[in-house]
Structure 1
Amino acid sequence: MQLGVGLIGTGFMGKSHALAWRNVIAVLGGDLGAVAQPDLRLLCETPADKASQMAAQFGFACATSDWQELVADPQIDVVSITTPNGLHHPMAMAAIAAGKHVWCEKPMALTLAQAEEMAAAARDRGVVTMVGYNYLSNPAFTHAQRLVSGGAIGRPVQFRGWVDEDYQADPDLPWTWRARLQEAGLGALGDIGTHLISLTQGIMGPIASLIADMQTIHETRPLPDGSGRGTVENEDAANVLLRFANGAQGTLVISRSAWGRKSRLGFEIHGDRGMIIFDQERMNELQIYQNDGPRAEQGFKTILTGPAHPPYGAFCPAPGHQLGFNDLKVIECGRLLQGIAGIAAAEPGFDAALQIERVIHAIADSARAGGQRIAL
């Protein structure tokens, strides 16, 4: 059985999706169960000549410059949406209406209302959805989840999370669509904060309430045509105080203007018997401290991921040789295939991802209200 795949967009995430669709069966194979074989049918990009070029490069059979043509094509069963944020909602809604499964990059939409509409439509139509929170697929992170749930550090009492990048740190970087609410929606919160929230809730459980502050560090940027400076309408950074449903406290620090940071996405979990540290810039490692044994012999232990942390072994039989960013996308794609086949839930789907959207918009609401506590 084959699954007709349509891909919209060929940038950073478009290429990552294409690689995942091409490699998922070769890497994960029988571990997935009886899933359909992806058939790379149609790629959409503009202009048309670029679409043809990228279809040939990525291995798609056909190309188009019209995303609506792709969504309506009866040979397409699942649509990968890897476009700028403002297009996620209309494309996903059209795909769902046409009965297609959807794999959409984050954030789901520009507004919470749009995200709620997407989740409701997918639920009503009965299609399988997934949002691209690929860091949840990291074997190091899933092992950290097992350690916490298994009591390795006792009762979690405090969470400290961070996500820092420097892609907007330069004040002379030209103004782009990322600076506009109508095209990008939220700034650092939507771009990278969503990833931190996915890990935070993935290991600590639901957030009960929060207090937040936001900052636009570079309030204007030079317009690309040299005609002046454009206003930056969304945030570059945010700080958040959390209270989890389980009673634990938390703090989050989010910045897209942190010089020197490339993908510093990580956390510390403090338990009453130890702690765990993870950082995406060292994505194949976990550190754990446990209050066991003689005090003179206690210290942090570094865990290097390997075949003992599935599905690492499907990629490489040797511990410490390391997985990469695109490998996480392959794991995510495998979960989507299993979801479509009815073998296992494709998570996070639109319903689960909607909870992440609720958090980032609550952070924005709290900050705009001068640090008001928001209950979730």
Structure 2
Amino acid sequence: MSDDYGLSSVKETVAIAPPSIDYLPKMPTTYRPKIGLIGAGGVSEFHLKAYRECGFDVAVIADRNIEKAQARRDEFFPQADAVNDYRELIGRDEIEVVDVTPHPVDRVPIVKAAIAAGKHVLSQKPFVLDLDVGDELIAQAARQNVRLAVNQNGRWAPHFSYMQQAVASGLIGEVTSIDFSLQWDQTWITGNEAFEKIHHLVLFDFGIHWFDIAGCLMGDQKAESVFATATRFEQQTFEPPAIASAIIQYPSAQVRMSFNAHTRLGEEDVTTIVGTKGTLRCRGRGLNEQSEMQVFLENGCYVAPLSGCWTENGFQGTMAELLCAIQDNRTPWNSAANNTKGLELCFAALESANTNQVVPVGAVRGLLSF
């Protein structure tokens, strides 16, 4: 009787030449509008650095703390104006695109005002905390004939972007399972009141990227339910539960997520997608350290090197895609309407973690707390 669990029957893989997968952000060729950025908080650094790298024209930066707006202006776009009232920025005729970065509750009235003024809008993620509000904003943008997109920047992380393009091309057939396994050190938030008060920091503030990516990778397959858990252990240094997991059930597939945000030694980030015709796998020490993609197909395997990183490609890609969509008179891939699929998954996961119950996708339309 064999005791090798069938390992001796595993076929040797043959190296093959990789197909061309175009996963880097596309830049607009002719449309270079004047951009206004609202909110000069921490995340604005990544936005402005990316826009400077792309050669985009940021003309005005607004923040209610004028010194913060001026500091961002001086660091990234010295020729821009700094103002302390977002309504002044929105009121300027030369501004065609507005990047809105404040937190969700503060963001909604700003997005509404920008759309009403006929501006195209890039909204920071998560788009909204209430899908009914999101639907209203989407409808308002349609009436005004402006584009409303979401800064769901993980879509342009090199490994996720490669996987999305490969799956969309049919390279591995129909997706049957996706496994996200992340162990990383987020103990730097210890003592930071803004982060410490977010109970579902892992599943919501962080995990929203993975729920969005899951929705993208699964394409037209419709999720049925989510079961999620969140666990806090006594020795962890910050208040929100550091360990979380989620299982998204589809009629003939599963997506599984495993998170540990308190991994001080041996960080690792692994994504595996299994399809009916092949498997994709990427492994690295962290979000910005995914340097190659492993691809296993029926006729052989290959390793594709990856260029760029999440914080570079991601923030470039979200704005670039919006500008390309305006230029080409089409809907941006990161449109607000496209973003709601991931929000439904995330909202169901938070409800499941709170109730210890399986939650149907679509049953939770908004969040009272997170």
TM-score by length of 2: 0.76
Q: CA deviation at 1:8?
A: 1.8
2:278 maps to what in 1? 274
1:110 maps to what in 2? 129
2:33 maps to what in 1? 3
1:176 maps to what in 2? 193
Match of 2:61 among 26, 43, 51: 43
Q: Which whole-Å CA distance do the structure 1 matches of 2:201 and 2:264 have between them? A: 17
Deviates more, 1:354-363 or 1:92-101: 92-101
Q: Which whole-Å CA distance do the structure 1 matches of 2:199 and 2:133 have between them? A: 11
Pairing of 1:248-259 with structure 2 (within 5 A): 248-259=253-264
1:91 is paired with a residue whose SS is helix
2:290 maps to what in 1? 283
Structure 1 residues 165 and 353, CA gap change in structure 2 (3 angstroms): farther
Amino acid at match of 2:86: W
Would you say the 8 A contact 1:169–1:258 is kept in 2? no
2:118 maps to what in 1? 99
Q: CA deviation at 1:7?
A: 0.8
Amino acid at match of 1:3: P
Q: Which whole-Å CA distance do the structure 2 matches of 1:143 and 1:17 have between them? A: 22
Matched, 1:340 2:354: no
Amino acid at match of 1:9: G
Would you say the 8 A contact 2:294–2:304 is kept in 1? yes
Would you say the 8 A contact 1:129–1:349 is kept in 2? yes
2:36 is paired with a residue whose SS is strand
Q: Which whole-Å CA distance do the structure 2 matches of 1:215 and 1:349 have between them? A: 30
Would you say the 8 A contact 2:214–2:255 is kept in 1? no
Would you say the 8 A contact 2:282–2:293 is kept in 1? yes
1:99 is paired with a residue whose SS is coil
In structure 1, the gaps of 5 or more residues are 26-37, 223-230, 294-299, 306-320
Q: Which whole-Å CA distance do the structure 2 matches of 1:169 and 1:44 have between them? A: 28
Match of 1:215 among 217, 221, 230: 230
1:227 maps to what in 2? none
Match of 1:142 among 156, 161, 164: 161
**What are the superposed Cα offsets for residues 126-173 of structure 1, whole Å, 9 maximum, x if unpaired?**
221221122222454333234334444344322112345432477xx2
**What are the superposed Cα offsets for residues 93-123 of structure 1, whole Å, 9 maximum, x if unpaired?**
2212222111122111233343333333323
Q: Which whole-Å CA distance do the structure 2 matches of 1:191 and 1:12 have between them? A: 15
1:21 maps to what in 2? 51
Q: CA deviation at 1:260?
A: 4.8
Q: CA deviation at 1:372?
A: 2.2
1:283 is paired with a residue whose SS is coil
Match of 2:143 among 113, 124, 128: 124
1:335 is paired with a residue whose SS is helix
In structure 2, the gaps of 5 or more residues are 1-30, 363-370
Q: Which whole-Å CA distance do the structure 2 matches of 1:103 and 1:261 have between them? A: 36
Q: Which whole-Å CA distance do the structure 2 matches of 1:220 and 1:46 have between them? A: 39
Would you say the 8 A contact 1:20–1:333 is kept in 2? no
2:206 maps to what in 1? 192
Amino acid at match of 1:145: Q
**What are the superposed Cα offsets for residues 265-310 of structure 1, whole Å, 9 maximum, x if unpaired?**
55211234431112444333211223446xxxxxx632113xxxxx
The alignment yields a C-alpha RMSD, in angstroms, of 3.2
Identity of aligned residues (%): 22
Q: Which whole-Å CA distance do the structure 2 matches of 1:69 and 1:162 have between them? A: 45
Structure 1 residues 161 and 323, CA gap change in structure 2 (3 angstroms): closer
Would you say the 8 A contact 2:37–2:100 is kept in 1? yes
Q: CA deviation at 1:2?
A: 5.5
Count of matched residue positions in the alignment of Structure 1 and Structure 2: 327
